[in-house]
Amino acid sequence: MSASSEPASESSESSANAAEGMRWKGFTLKLLAAAALIYFLYRMGYLDPEKLKRPLEQPGTIALALVIAAVAISMSGLRWWLLLRLEGIHIGLGRSVWLTWIGHFFNMVFPGAVMGDGVKMFYIGQAVPERRAEAWTTVLADRVIGLTALVALSIGASLLNLDFMLSREELRWVLAVMVALLVGALIGGVILATGFGSEWAWLQEQLKRIPKHESLARAYRVLRRLGRNPLGVGATLVFSFSAHCMNVFNAYLLGCAASDDRTLAFLNYCTLFPIAMFSNAVAFTPGGLGVGEGVLGKLFAWSGAPAELGTTVMLWWRMLFYVLALVGAACYLSYRRDPLPQGRSLDAEPAAAPREAG
């Protein structure tokens, strides 16, 4: 029996190594794609080395932007912690912020801006294995709430700057897509709050045919409980909105540092920068590198500002978050050595049973 199990073990190890190799090859290819995009932007005149160096002449501005960015990341941890508490999972604010910083590290290093969510789901599942599905659902709800607040900020600024948004067909399409996303999020919230369709027998029968439907049913119950707590969800939206406003203000600071040209007012940044941030979330390169720069450069050009200024702003904003990703990397290494860390202030309360909100 031991002889037959050894080949199976070796085969499993070989498959795991092959999968790991494929992941690294894919990551390398995507990193090369990001480098190619940056080079393309430079060749097209969207990247001006002189503008890129100018913020270095204002170290005070860079330091302020770093502090603001760190606060914005930590506020995301506060938002997630509140969602966990609404579900009755008391892991402690310290751990929530700690895992958020770890997620930030993976968001910036690996393709797209949702890799960190998977890491957070893995670790929160380890922390509360008896309520893993519920904890995972709060991560997804946190992502949706963050994107909803981002879209709402951009739409609000667009309505105050409507002439510009209607001046080009591309911008009209962007505005239409953002409005559709916001309306879809609102409709989804209403459905969850009211439980519309949850009692339909035929729907229940269809859902039972889906693999792992029990886990999906538990996740749906979590969303229902959150939907019936509008004050709590509203508070998380306020945190999200505040964090996004900090990011926009950072972009404005970097734009002012990179150029004396005040072609774009702060309102323009509120309209354009969230669109570029959203493009990072769906990009195929690590952290959206190269994609967000091209998008913001084009948006600046359409606004009458130099395209290279938009590219510079996004690159500097990204560099700040890469610097802060080092903090996330330190949190990750520390968490691997001591997963709680237990015995310290990061966690003090056990996970509670789910609460049915009225």
Distance CA 118, CA 140 (A): 9
Quick one: angle between helices 132-160 and 213-227, nearest 10?
A: 50
The answer to whether residues 70 and 101 touch, using CB atoms and an 8 Å cutoff, is no
The number of beta carbons lying within 10 Å of the beta carbon of residue 130 is: 9
Both tokens assigned to 114: 């949702």
pLDDT at 356: 47
pLDDT tens track for 279-295: 776 666 666 677 888 88
Q: Report how many helices (DSSP H) and strands (DSSP E) the chain contains, helices first.
A: 14, 0
> What share of the chain has pLDDT > 70, as a percent?
77
Bigger pLDDT: 160 vs 11:
160
The answer to whether residues 269 and 252 touch, using CB atoms and an 8 Å cutoff, is yes
Please list the residues that pair with 112 across neighbouring strands: 286
Residue 297 has pLDDT above 80, yes or no: yes
pLDDT band at 117 (very low <50, low <70, confident <90, very high): confident
The answer to whether residues 229 and 86 touch, using CB atoms and an 8 Å cutoff, is yes
pLDDT at 7: 55
Quick one: angle between helices 307-337 and 230-258, nearest 10?
A: 130
The answer to whether residues 105 and 329 touch, using CB atoms and an 8 Å cutoff, is yes
3-state secondary structure of 339: coil
Entry pTM: 0.79
Distance CA 108, CA 332 (A): 13
Sign, CA dihedral 48-252-178-174, equals negative
Distance CA 297, CA 288 (A): 14
pLDDT at 72: 94
- Residue 101: C-alpha distances to residues 66, 108, 129, 338 (Å): 14, 11, 21, 16
The answer to whether residues 306 and 261 touch, using CB atoms and an 8 Å cutoff, is yes
pLDDT tens track for 56-86: 899 999 999 999 999 999 999 999 999 999 9
- Over its C-alpha atoms, the chain yields an Rg (Å, rounded) of 22
The number of beta carbons lying within 10 Å of the beta carbon of residue 97 is: 20
The answer to whether residues 248 and 153 touch, using CB atoms and an 8 Å cutoff, is yes
Distance CA 45, CA 149 (A): 33
Distance CA 164, CA 264 (A): 12
Please list the residues that pair with 111 across neighbouring strands: 286
Both tokens assigned to 279: 């493009």
pLDDT at 349: 45
Residue 112 has pLDDT above 80, yes or no: no
pLDDT at 261: 67
3-state secondary structure of 112: strand
Strands (DSSP E) contained in 11-118 are: none
Distance CA 233, CA 90 (A): 17
